[in-house]
Amino acid sequence: MFLGTRLDDVQIHVNPNAVLQASVGPGAVRSLLHMRPIDLPAPSELVPAVAQTFGIPNLMQHLDGIRAAVEVRDFMTGHLAPNERGRRLLAAILAAHEGMGAALVWVPSAELLSDPEHLLDHSMLGIDPHPVLGLLNVRYIRLEGAPVGDELMDTRGLTAFGLPDLQCHFRGLPRQEVAALLYRNAMGFMVDGLQTHEGTVGGWSVRLEQSMAPPRRTVLDLRPPGRHSGTRAT
C-alpha cells in the first residue's frame, strides 16, 4: 500500500520485462496487478508496522502528513514461483512510486513500513535483496513471563508467498547475528527456492511448529544447540 501527502489519478505502465501493467483512474486495465485508491488505514492498523520498522528518521512525522492511500494487490499469481512473484510485485511498486511519489510503502503482511527511495537502493543491508526488499521483515518479540535472557525473533512476509515464516527462540546470542540468520534463510526460500526440511543442521534443530508470537501460523523453528536454546515448557 502506498501512503502519501497527495496522490492524483495517474496512469502507470510498468517495464514490459516485468510483464505487468496497471492504471489508476478512469479506464483501469485489469492485469496481474490491481491498484485502487482506498481509505486511510486507522492508526491502530499501523501500530504493528511502526513497532517493527527501523531506519526511517522521523517516521511519526511522515505518518502525520499522510493524506491519501492507494492499495496495490497482485492476483492470478498462483502459478508463479515466490521469487518471480516478488520480483514482479517489487517492479510494479518501484514503477508506481516513480509515477506517484509516495511518502511510504506499507506491507501489512510483513508488518513493515518502507521509504520508497530506499527500495530503489539494492545495496541495502550490503546485499542484493531483490526480490524481497520491502516485502520481508525480521521482528524482535518481547516474551511476556519468559525466563530472564530468553529472546524471540521471527520473520513476517513469507506466508504471503505460500512459504512458512521462520522463528528463533534463543538466549545468549547477538540479536544482529540471529536477525541475519533469519533473513539469510528467508532469502534462500524466496530467491533460491530452498525446500522446507526438518532435522538437525550444524547442531541446530529445524522443525515445523506453531508460532510462539501472533499471528498464529505454522513456522519453521530454528533452535540453537545447548545453552543458547530458549527455555520451552515441557
pLDDT beneath 50: ranges in the chain = 5-31, 123-129
Question: What is the enclosing helix (H) or strand (E) of 12?
Answer: strand 11-12
Q: What is the pTM of this model?
A: 0.79
Q: Judge contact between 85 and 91, C-beta under 8 A.
A: no
Q: Could you report how far apart the first and last alpha carbons of the chain are, in Å?
A: 42
How many whole angstroms separate alpha carbon 73 and alpha carbon 75?
Answer: 7
CA distance 85 to 83: 5
The string over 153-175, giving b where at least 16 C-beta atoms fall within 10 Å of a residue's C-beta and e elsewhere, is: bbbbbbbbbebbbbbbbbbebee
Q: What is the pLDDT of residue 223?
A: 94
